[in-house]
Amino acid sequence: EDDGGDDQSTLWTTFEHRQDPMIYFAQIMSSFTRCTANELCQHVDLKSYSTLLDVGGSLGDLSRTVLQWNSHLNAFSMDLPSLTRYAQAQNENPRMKFVTGDFFDARWPEEIVEQS
């Protein structure tokens, strides 16, 4: 069946060319995080902590939510470079920092090592 177009004109192909697939995947996964992060904050007492490290933090939704519930905390959200660059560009919270790293790597980013 001929739909009058070729593969280059499909909606999906157009989308793929305009957005990084990793960021698109992270945005989808963030919807799941937002559903559970508030629940976590209702049941976990973080008063005795000063810093949150969200390893594999993606776009920072968990960190963002935890900071909303805990004004005394600072947070690091660590993930791969393309995700952290995108997330940092969207970040408006001075208590939250995005750190590039790979949790499979034996050397962790200095920003995180200095906090421990």
Which tokens in the block code for residue 3? Answer: 């739909």
Residues belonging to the chain? 116
C-alpha distances out from residue 24 to 6, 8, 93, 99, 100, Å: 24, 20, 22, 20, 18
Rounded to 10 degrees, the C-alpha dihedral 47/60/92/31 comes to -110
The pLDDT tens digits of the residues spanning 45-74 come to 999 999 999 999 999 999 999 999 999 999
Q: How far apart are CA 35 and CA 11, in angstroms?
A: 29
pLDDT tier at 1, thresholds 50, 70, 90: very low
Is this prediction's pTM over 0.85?
Answer: no
Q: How far apart are CA 43 and CA 49, in angstroms?
A: 15
